[in-house]
Amino acid sequence: MNNQWMNMSVLALSLSAITSTLYAEEQPQTPIVEQQEQVQATESAVDSSQDVGESGNDAIVTTGSEANQAANALQKQDGDATKETNLQEVFTSNERQYSLIKKGVFSSYYDIDYTYYRDSRLDLATGDSTSTLARLRVEEDANHTLTNSFTVQYGVLDNVTLSATLPFMAKKDLLQDKTAAGLGDISFGARWEPFPLKQGRLPLVLFGSLSTKTGDSPYEIGIDELSTGKGYYSVGVGASTRKYIDPVVLFTSVSANYGLKESGLNQLRGTRTLESFDPGLSGGFSFGFAYSFNYDVSLTMSYQQSFNTGAKFYFENDESYKSADQSSSMLSFALGVRVSPETIVNGTVGIGLTEDAPDVSLGLSFPLDIIGFGKKLR
């Protein structure tokens, strides 16, 4: 009996131990499965959030890219407009006959120009009663000329600008060792733009000029003396236009001048006396381009061609002489430097391409507002 009880007790204890062991082995497995399920759920949530984030980022990037493209387009348009305006300013500061100023605006400029001319000149004279040659010699002609000009412009209307130029001349002949200085020929001008600016239409500027004879006339002084003027009145007309083609401004102009006949002269030339002079017709054309390297520096290159025809000298005893037609051409380079937001200084170098043109010309131009004479509104 006791053995049976002990066997039952041992069996109960064994079952209890086995049950406890099994329960202990099964108990940790449940959290592991749940943890794995939680981890899988978390990873799914993370993946979903990443997908959503990437989609959102893609949307943000796309929206930002479109905004940047729009901003860049606007900046490009503004940049193109600014570049064109800057190029126009640079161009018109050196080539004033191609533009006008606003109504009521007053502006002034100072120009200093130097030219050097060297050539061989044939001096001949004939006898009084015969056509025999009395004098024949070849002279070397070399002249230095310095011109200081003050120009004033005023806008009468938005499409009409008036101007006046006061020049002071200084000349020196090295070979003859002669000098001359004084007032040059005062000139007046007008520019008119008949048609308003319109997209696709080339701007047209018509201009006219009147040149006086305030300088020393070469026909009223000794033949060996130097003059500071041309000696006659002249009127001129012309037209100009320009075209902006990124990144340059193309321009061209044509002009014609007529000199009024001068009478009442009494200049001794050899053995004859000059009584009157008819300057004839003169004119020319030019074309070129302006290019802006940046906001501060620009370059203008131009070609000028001029001619003079029909000049005739009248001597006493009804004698006359018609001079040969003359033609000259020059190639010019102008460098513009912006010294302030509204002020551009231009330096010019010209090279003569024909025998009748000056060998070398140099020029410097700047508005007088940099020394206190600013633009004013009426």
Over residues 161-171, the pLDDT tens digits come to 999 999 999 99
- For residue 194, whether the previous peptide bond is cis, meaning omega lies within 30 degrees of 0, is no
- For residue 157, the model assigns a pLDDT of 94
Mean pLDDT on 131-145: 72
- For residue 82, the model assigns a pLDDT of 62
Q: How far is it, in rounded angstroms, from Cα 280 to Cα 318?
A: 19
Lowest mean pLDDT among 30-39, 156-165, 244-253, 330-339: 30-39
Token pair of 6 as six digits = 């002990």
From 2.60.40.1180, 2.30.42.10, 3.90.1150.10, 2.40.128.130, which CATH number describes the 95-377 domain? 2.40.128.130
Mean pLDDT on 218-228: 89
Mean pLDDT on 58-62: 45
Q: How far is it, in rounded angstroms, from Cα 269 to Cα 134?
A: 13
Write down the residue that tokens 């070398």 correspond to.
360
- For residue 364, the model assigns a pLDDT of 94
The yes-or-no verdict on residue 338 having pLDDT over 60 is: yes
Write down the residue that tokens 């070397």 correspond to.
140
Give the pLDDT band of residue 76 (cuts 50, 70, 90): very low
The yes-or-no verdict on residue 1 having pLDDT over 50 is: no
Q: How far is it, in rounded angstroms, from Cα 134 to Cα 88?
A: 59
Mean pLDDT on 200-208: 92
Separation of CA 227 from chain center: 34
- For residue 111, the model assigns a pLDDT of 95
Higher pLDDT, 1 or 96: 96
Give the pLDDT band of residue 296 (cuts 50, 70, 90): confident
- For residue 376, the model assigns a pLDDT of 46
Q: How far is it, in rounded angstroms, from Cα 181 to Cα 314?
A: 28
Mean pLDDT on 196-214: 92
Mean pLDDT on 266-286: 91
Give the pLDDT band of residue 351 (cuts 50, 70, 90): very high
Backbone angles phi, psi at 109, to 5 degrees: -135, 155
Give the pLDDT band of residue 262 (cuts 50, 70, 90): very high
For residues 171 and 182, the answer to whether their CB atoms sit within 8 Å is: no
Count CA atoms within 13 Å of residue 103 on its CB side.
Answer: 4
- For residue 113, the model assigns a pLDDT of 96
Ordered DSSP codes for 119-140:
EEEEEEEE-SSS--EEEEEEEE
Lowest mean pLDDT among 3-7, 334-338, 343-347: 3-7
Mean pLDDT on 66-90: 54
- For residue 223, the model assigns a pLDDT of 81
Q: What is the mean pLDDT of the chain?
A: 78
Please name which of 253, 247, 243 lies closest in space to residue 298, comparing C-alpha atoms.
247
Give the pLDDT band of residue 355 (cuts 50, 70, 90): confident
- Which element (helix H / strand E) includes 60? helix 29-94
Backbone angles phi, psi at 220, to 5 degrees: -125, 10
Over residues 81-119, the pLDDT tens digits come to 466 666 666 666 667 778 888 999 998 999 999 999 887
- For residue 79, the model assigns a pLDDT of 45
Q: How far is it, in rounded angstroms, from Cα 206 to Cα 202?
A: 13
Q: How far is it, in rounded angstroms, from Cα 282 to Cα 356?
A: 14
Higher pLDDT, 9 or 355: 355
Over residues 9-38, the pLDDT tens digits come to 544 555 454 444 434 444 444 443 344 444
pTM: 0.72
